[in-house]
Structure 1
């Protein structure tokens, strides 16, 4: 089973050109796809409904979208009808197998007016894969403030590790005709964490030994400045973390540095049965 994480930067590539087809081409071979910076109603990309466009372009995948950031962008009455014009910004999960349950988690944030601070989130889906039940999270942490990321990492760890005691999206579902879901604790946390391996946030993520960095086999960069920028900079910001039991089943870690559909690179892993 192949899984990939990709921050798609609203669909704008290294050449600053909006082209969602490049995103689709980069991830279409994956069984599970975690995307970040997916938008609806974003002025700079023509207001494209990216969740709908990506779902249409990958019709063999089931999908869900969580707009952690959801802002009014000029809603008004038009000919006596309320017209909602919203900017939505969040994470997406697509899977070849049905999404059993889905939840969107809002991550901690602070009041910051001098630099952009959109609400960030973690989108959770339980998926029955051929290898068993897997809980998958598509994640995007703050890009500016390490203190805010520390709070977000603490929240993420609680969401993932405390799942067995919180009941998930539903429990006692037989009244709905839904069988109880036996989640044994295997999870993937995939996304743009906006921290580097030497950071305090990274160390906090691994503190306690309950969560493993599944992508250490390729420790190279996952983000770079666009082609037009005179001085090229590169950083490692994107990861897949997992519970310790799942770590032994992960292989073939790679970063697709040929992709040019975003300033981030797709991060791939394989999970065996």
Structure 2
């Protein structure tokens, strides 16, 4: 099973051109797709509805979208009713397999006064894969403040570890004649975490390595798929600075639960993709 994460930057590539077709081409063959910076009614891409555009390009996939940023742009009266036009910015998941339940989970933030400060979130989808139910998350953390990322990481870690005990979107569904949605131990969290390898935020997320034993998988921490498979080199990157400045950073990660490590077969970054300033990160489970 192939999973991919891609921060699509509103559909605008390194050449500053909007092209949703080349983004879709970079995602071809994926069973599960986790996207960040998906927008509706954003001026920079001509007010395109990326949710509808992506659903049209992946007609065999189920989909869900959550916009932690949802702002009124303008409104009009049409055929006797008020129609609001809203700017939405958020995360999306597309899946070849049925999506059983969905939650959009807000992450903590603090106000800035001179920099864009977006509400961040994690979109959770429980997916009925052929190998059993799987929790999949599309995640986007703050891009400015390490302290803010640390607070978001603490909430995310608790979510990843405790959901099997706490349940997903609904529990006690028998009261309404429905069976409970599974809350599996297995998860993959994909996204733009805006942190660099072995930074304080990285170590908070994945655990600090012991000088002798290294970084041992623990229930309380996810595993970095690239690092675990030794696919992360000193020069690995998933983001490139604008204008060909040559700045490259590794900011995108695939987090897998320790329970999934026996199935973790491959991970790679597709630096040939040009549809965004980030690059697709692929993970394969056997």
Q: How far does the alpha carbon of each residue in 1:8-34 deviate from its partner, in whole angstroms, 9 at most, with x for none?
A: 000001100000101100112100000
Structure 1 length as normaliser, TM-score?
0.95
1-structure distance, mates of 2:191, 2:84? 29
> 2:42–2:48: 8 Å Cα contact kept in structure 1?
yes
> 1:181/1:198 Cα in 2 relative to 1: closer, same or farther (>3 Å)?
same
Which residue number in structure 1 is paired with residue 259 of structure 2?
245
Q: Which runs of 5+ in 1 are unaligned?
A: none
> Runs (4+) of structure 1 moved beyond 4 Å?
76-80
Q: In 2, Cα distance between the equivalents of 1:131 and 1:181? A: 16
CA shift, 1:94, in A, is: 0.3
Provide the rounded CA distance (Å) in 2 between the counterparts of 1:196 and 1:248.
Answer: 26
Partners of 2:148 and 2:184 in 1: CA distance: 30
The separation in 2 between residues aligned to 1:47 and 1:114, in whole angstroms, is 25
Matches within 5 A, 1:122-141: 122-141=122-141
Q: In the TM superposition, what are the counterparts of 1:82-161 in structure 2 within 5 Å?
A: 82-161=82-161
Match of 2:19 in 1: 19
Q: Is the 8 A contact 1:68 1:121 kept in 2?
A: yes
* Cα distance in 2 between the residues matched to 1:247 and 1:92: 25
Cα distance, 1:76 vs. partner?
4.7
Gaps of 5+ in 2: 208-216
Residue 15 of structure 2 aligns to a residue whose secondary structure is coil
TM-score by length of 2: 0.90
Q: Distance in 1 between matches of 2:55 and 2:175?
A: 31
Structure 2 residue aligned with 1:225: 241
Distance 2:182 2:88 in 1: 33
Indicate conservation of the 8 Å contact 1:215/1:241, yes or no.
no
Cα deviations by residue, 1:205-263 (Å, 9 ceiling, x for unpaired):
0138332111213221001023x34x210000000111111122112211101100001
Shift of 1:175: 4.0
- Give the number of equivalent residue pairs: 270
Q: Structure 2 matches for 1:1-273, cutoff 5 A?
A: 1-77=1-77, 81-207=81-207, 209-210=218-219, 211-216=222-227, 217-219=230-232, 220-226=236-242, 228-229=243-244, 231-272=245-286
SS at the partner of 1:156? Answer: helix
